[in-house]
Structure 1
Amino acid sequence: MEFITIKVTCPSELIDVLIAELFEVGFDSFQEFESGFEGSCEHAQFDEEKVTVIFNSYPNVSFVIKEQEKVNWNEEWEKNYDPIIVGSSCIVRASFHEAQPQFQYQIVVTPKMSFGTGHHATTYQVLDYQMTLDHQGKKVLDVGTGTGILAIMAQKRGASSITATDIDEWCIENSKENFSLNDVEDVSLIQGQISEVNASGFDIIIANINKNVLLDQIKDYAGRLVEGGQLILSGFYEQDVKDLEVETGKHGLEKLKTTTRDKWAMLVLNKLSV
C-alpha cells in the first residue's frame, strides 16, 4: 500500500491547529516533534489542492510532501525502540525485548505506524493514572486507541467490558496484534468515529487525541458516560486545559484533576448527577 507523508515545520502553537485541519482532509496518523510534526494518509485519500489551501493560510509554516511504500515498522523500530517504564509498576516493551516479570503490568507491543507506545508524554500520563483508577468490573471506552495499550491496561486493571475505536486502518491492525500479544480478549474494536459507537453507559472513557478533535467530541463522550463516570482526556498542551474545562463544563463534567509532563497535559473529569 502506498501512502503520503507530510513533514511540517511550524511554531508549537500551530501544531494542534494544523493537525486538526489535515485530519479533516484525510490525514489520520500523526507524530509530533519539537519543531513540528509528521502526518500520513493513504495515497487514495490525498488531495493536494486541499492541502495547499490549508498551508496558504500560514505563511510562517513550511512543509515537505513525500510518497512512500508501506514501511516495515517492526524492522525500523527494532533499531531504535527502547522500553518505557511508567511509574514503578508498568513497562511497555516491544515483542523483541526480553520479558521483565518484576513489573506488575507488562505491556508488549508490535511497533507500527501507530501513536501511543508510552514514549509520548500524553500516553505516559494516562497509563500512570490508570494504575491508580479502579477499573474492576467497569465498562471502558478507549477513543483513538492507536496501539491499543490504554485498552490493554484497562483489562489488566480488571475492566469487564472494553470498546476501542480508531479511524486509522493501521491502528486497527496494530491494536489487534497487540491485544493478541497481551492475551486481551473480547474487545469490541471499531474502525470509525465516536459517532459509530452505538453503546453507552460507560464507566470510564479515555480519549488521547488532540485538542480540536476533543473539543468537537466532548458532547459525544458525555452522552455515553454514566453519572459518576470518569472521562480521561489527553493529547493537548497545558495551555489548552482551560479551553477544555470550559467546554466540558457545558456538558455536566466536573474537573477532578490535571497533570502535566513535558508541557503536555491530562485532564480527568467526573460526570455530575442531573
Structure 2
Amino acid sequence: MEFISVKLSCEEAFIEIVVAELGELGYNSMMETDAGVEGYIEEKNFNEQDINDLISRYSEVTTITYEVEEVVSRNWNEEWEKNYDPISVDKSCLVRATFHKPDPSFKYEIIINPRMSFGTGHHATTYLMLKTQMELDHADKRVLDAGCGTAILAVMAEKLGAKEVIAYDNNSWSTENAPENVELNECKNITVKEGTIATLGLEGTFDIILANINKNVLLDEMESYSTYLHSGSTLVLSGFYDYDKEDIVKRADSVGLEFRSQKDRNSWVALVFIKK
C-alpha cells in the first residue's frame, strides 16, 4: 500500500482545525509537527485539489502552505520517537510509547506505538474519550470501539474491567496496527475486525459503545449505534466541534438516545448518551 505525505505549515491556533479538515478528507493519520501538521493518505485517495480547497477556505484569516511527497519505506517507530511525547490524562492515565519509561505513579498505563493510525491521546478528542471512559463503569461490560484507530480506547476499556471488547476500523493500516497495541498492553479480551458497523454483522448488544470518528460518520451511523445498545446502555461520541453538538444531539434523540453529559477541550467535545 502506497501513501502520500502532506506537510501543512500553519499557525498554532489552526492546527486543530487542519487536523479536523484532514480527517474529513479521509486521511489515515495526522501528526503535529513544529511547522503545523503532517497527514498521510493512501495514494489512490489523494486529491491535491482537496488541499487547495482547504487552504482557500481559511485564506482570509490565515496563511497555510503545504508540501506533498510519496512516503518511502521508513522506520515508523523511529519517526514517532522524534515527535511523540507521553501524555497524562487527568493525572490518572499515562499514554506512552515503548521508548518512554513507565511511571508507576499512574493508576493506568497505555502503551501505544501508533505507526500511521489515529489515536495517541494527543488529540483533544482522544483525550476526552479516555477521560470520559475513566468515569464509566466498565466492569464485566461488553464494549464496542467503533473506528478504533490504534485501539487506544479498546485497551482502556479492558484495563477498566470490560469482559469483552470488539474494536473495528475500515482502514487496513489501523487493523494491522491495533492488534500490535493490544499485544503491547497484554490485553486478552479484545478482538480487532476490519469493516464498518454496517458490514461486520455484529451479534447481540453492547453495554458501552465508543465512537471517536467525525460528525458526518456519526450522523450516518447513529441509528446503527442505537440498534446495538440495549435500554440503559451508554454511547460516548467525539470527533467534532462544540458547534456541532446540536446536530449530534438532535440525531441521537431521533433514534432513542438521551443526552446526559458533555466534556470540552480546545473547542472539541465528547458527549455521553443513554439508550432509552
Number of equivalenced pairs: 265
- Preserved contact between residue 17 and residue 212 of structure 1 (Cα < 8 Å): no
Partner Cα separation in structure 2 for residue 57 and residue 96 of structure 1: 35
- Preserved contact between residue 4 and residue 68 of structure 2 (Cα < 8 Å): yes
Partner Cα separation in structure 2 for residue 136 and residue 240 of structure 1: 31
> Structure 1's 153 and 58: CA in aligned 2 closer, same or farther, altered over 3 A?
closer
Q: What whole-Å deviation, never above 9, does each CA across 1:185-239 have from its counterpart, x for those lacking one? A: 2422111112123223011000001111111111111111111111000111111
Which of 93, 97, 102 is the equivalent residue of 1:99? Answer: 102
Partner Cα separation in structure 1 for residue 210 and residue 33 of structure 2: 23
Which of 145, 148, 171 is the equivalent residue of 1:142? Answer: 145
Partner Cα separation in structure 2 for residue 230 and residue 33 of structure 1: 35
How far is the alpha carbon of 1:94 from its aligned partner?
Answer: 0.8
- Preserved contact between residue 164 and residue 187 of structure 1 (Cα < 8 Å): yes
Partner Cα separation in structure 2 for residue 69 and residue 262 of structure 1: 34
Stretch moving more, 33-42 or 120-129: 33-42
Which of 109, 133, 138 is the equivalent residue of 2:112? Answer: 109
Partner of residue 5, structure 1: 5
Ranges in structure 2 where 5+ consecutive residues have no aligned partner = 59-64
Which of 43, 49, 56 is the equivalent residue of 1:52? Answer: 49
Partner of residue 61, structure 2: none
- Preserved contact between residue 163 and residue 189 of structure 2 (Cα < 8 Å): no
How far is the alpha carbon of 1:82 from its aligned partner?
Answer: 1.5
Partner Cα separation in structure 2 for residue 89 and residue 9 of structure 1: 33
CA RMSD of aligned residues (A): 2.7
- Preserved contact between residue 93 and residue 109 of structure 2 (Cα < 8 Å): yes
User: 1:83 and 2:86 equivalent?
Assistant: yes
> Structure 1's 247 and 36: CA in aligned 2 closer, same or farther, altered over 3 A?
farther
Alignment of 1:25-36 (within 5 A): 27-31=27-31
- Preserved contact between residue 29 and residue 168 of structure 1 (Cα < 8 Å): no
Stretch moving more, 80-89 or 59-68: 59-68
Stretch moving more, 3-12 or 100-109: 3-12
Ranges in structure 1 where 5+ consecutive residues have no aligned partner = none
How far is the alpha carbon of 1:19 from its aligned partner?
Answer: 3.8
How far is the alpha carbon of 1:80 from its aligned partner?
Answer: 2.8
User: 1:205 and 2:202 equivalent?
Assistant: no
- Preserved contact between residue 236 and residue 271 of structure 2 (Cα < 8 Å): yes
SS at match of 2:71: strand
Partner of residue 269, structure 2: 265
- Preserved contact between residue 28 and residue 41 of structure 2 (Cα < 8 Å): yes
Which of 152, 157, 168 is the equivalent residue of 1:154? Answer: 157
Percent sequence identity over aligned pairs:
45
How far is the alpha carbon of 1:150 from its aligned partner?
Answer: 0.6
Partner Cα separation in structure 2 for residue 14 and residue 5 of structure 1: 14
Partner Cα separation in structure 2 for residue 14 and residue 128 of structure 1: 24
How far is the alpha carbon of 1:89 from its aligned partner?
Answer: 1.6
SS at match of 1:195: coil
Partner Cα separation in structure 1 for residue 106 and residue 226 of structure 2: 34
